[in-house]
Amino acid sequence: MTEDGKSRVALVTGASKGLGRALSGELASRGVKVVMVARGRAELELAAAEVRERGGPAPVPLVYDVGDKAAIHPLAGLAADLAGDVDILVHNASDLGPVPMPLLMDLDCEDLSRVFEVNVVGPFRLTKAVGGSMALRKRGTILFVSSDAAVNAYPGWGAYSSSKAAADHLAKVFAAELEIHGVRVLSVDPTDMDTEMHRRALPDSDPASLARPETIAKAFVKILEDPERARTGSRVSAGDWVSS
Ligand SMILES: NC(=O)c1ccc[n+]([C@@H]2O[C@H](COP(=O)([O-])OP(=O)(O)OC[C@H]3O[C@@H](n4cnc5c(N)ncnc54)[C@H](OP(=O)(O)O)[C@@H]3O)[C@@H](O)[C@H]2O)c1
């Protein structure tokens, strides 16, 4: 709840699996109405049903591709119509690019473009579409889900990691521009998690060595709720918030 007694509204992209699904459940169980976005309808509806079972306001599943330019304004408009003004925007959906992940010298330009459309340009467009109302209301938090690949150079991870580095910097500049309007923007490195994305990228990893997305989702909620420690413009590691 906000100070004026209204339910908060979150829009989480990539909400049908992994971290986005776990975070949607965690937010809903705290009374947040969650607009859950992904491309695959069947999995998204299953995820929304699971979130509904946790109690709290009923989630709103919306089937959209964040890498599709034409989708962004309809998505933002429908989210506001069905759930209300968005207070929390989480750019969580992400594209790895071709798998197995090729070296940059072997990567097609079209594949690089698609990764940037989903991981950078889509979040840029959606921030513009949602952030204006946050600025007018002088309230809102925007999280860009990052990766350690944004700051480390791993052979084969070039498209994904350069897009995450660009998204981190986009978050920093949005933060600098929106701070006077009361909107907080930060990027969060979730750490390695046992999810479908991780299995696609590194199928030989031992799942026991990876964090559970449900654990990291709880850390994300702490980050969302602590603007003093997780300051606007910062890049935060969710792992530091797991037991704090
Ligand atoms: N897993 C890790 O170890 C790890 C490590 C560092 C960072 N991260 C980051 O954490 C975030 C969550 O990753 P995850 O591992 O939870 O992924 P995941 O389990 O693969 O789930 C990805 C979600 O995004 C959706 N999605 C993918 N492309 C989309 C698009 N173009 N438009 C809308 N939705 C889309 C997927 O559903 P559809 O396919 O049906 O659209 C799914 O709901 C990502 O930003 C990822 O880069 C993950």
- C-alpha span between 16 and 61 (Å, rounded): 9
146 has catalytic annotation: yes
Q: What is the mean pLDDT of the chain?
A: 96
Mean pLDDT by 10 residues, the chain (244 residues): 67 98 97 98 98 93 98 98 98 98 98 98 98 97 98 98 98 98 98 98 96 98 97 98 89
Residue 9 amino acid letter? V
- The CATH number given to whatever domain includes residue 102 is 3.40.50.720
- 119 DSSP assignment: I
Rama region for 156: left / alpha / beta (φ>0; ψ in -120 to 50; rest) = left
pLDDT at 54 (0 to 100) = 87
168, 217 Cβ separation under 8 angstroms: no
CA 43 to chain centre: 17
Please identify which residue in the block is written with the tokens 């009361």: 182
Query: Is 4 contained in some domain?
Result: no
- Cα separation of 153 and 147, whole Å? 11
Q: Are strands 183-189 and 235-237 parallel, antiparallel or unpaired?
A: parallel
Report the distance separating Cα 178 and Cα 140, nearest Å.
Answer: 10
Mutation test residue for ligand 1: of 65, 92, 96, 117, the one with most atoms within 8 Å of CB: 92
Please give the structure tokens belonging to residue 28: 């809903």
pLDDT at 55: 86
244 domain-assigned: no
CA of 16 from ligand 1 middle (Å) equals 9
> For residue 21, is it within any domain?
yes
Provide the whole-model pTM. 0.98
State the Cα–Cα distance between residues 83 and 85, nearest whole angstrom. 7
Task: Note whether residue 134 is domain-resident.
Answer: yes
20 lines ligand 1 (CB under 6 A): yes
Residue 17 alpha carbon, nearest atom of ligand 1: 43
- Centroid of ligand 1 to alpha carbon of 26 (angstroms): 17
For 215, the domain range is 9-239
Say how far apart CA 183 and CA 134 lie, in whole Å. Answer: 7
Query: Residues 16, 24, 146, 162: which is the catalytic one?
Result: 146
CB 63 within 8 A of CB 38: yes
Q: Does 67 sit in the ligand 1 pocket, CB within 6 Å?
A: yes
* pLDDT tens per residue across span 19-59: 999 999 999 999 999 999 999 999 999 999 999 998 889 99
> What is the count of structural domains for the chain?
1
> Does ligand 1 come within 6 angstroms of the Cβ of 35?
no
Separation between Cα atoms, residue 109 and residue 148, nearest integer Å = 23
End-to-end CA distance of the chain: 23
Residue 81 resides in a domain: yes
Residue 137 falls within a domain, yes or no? yes
CB 90 within 8 Å of CB 13? yes
- Asked if residue 24 has its Cβ within 6 Å of ligand 1, the reply is no
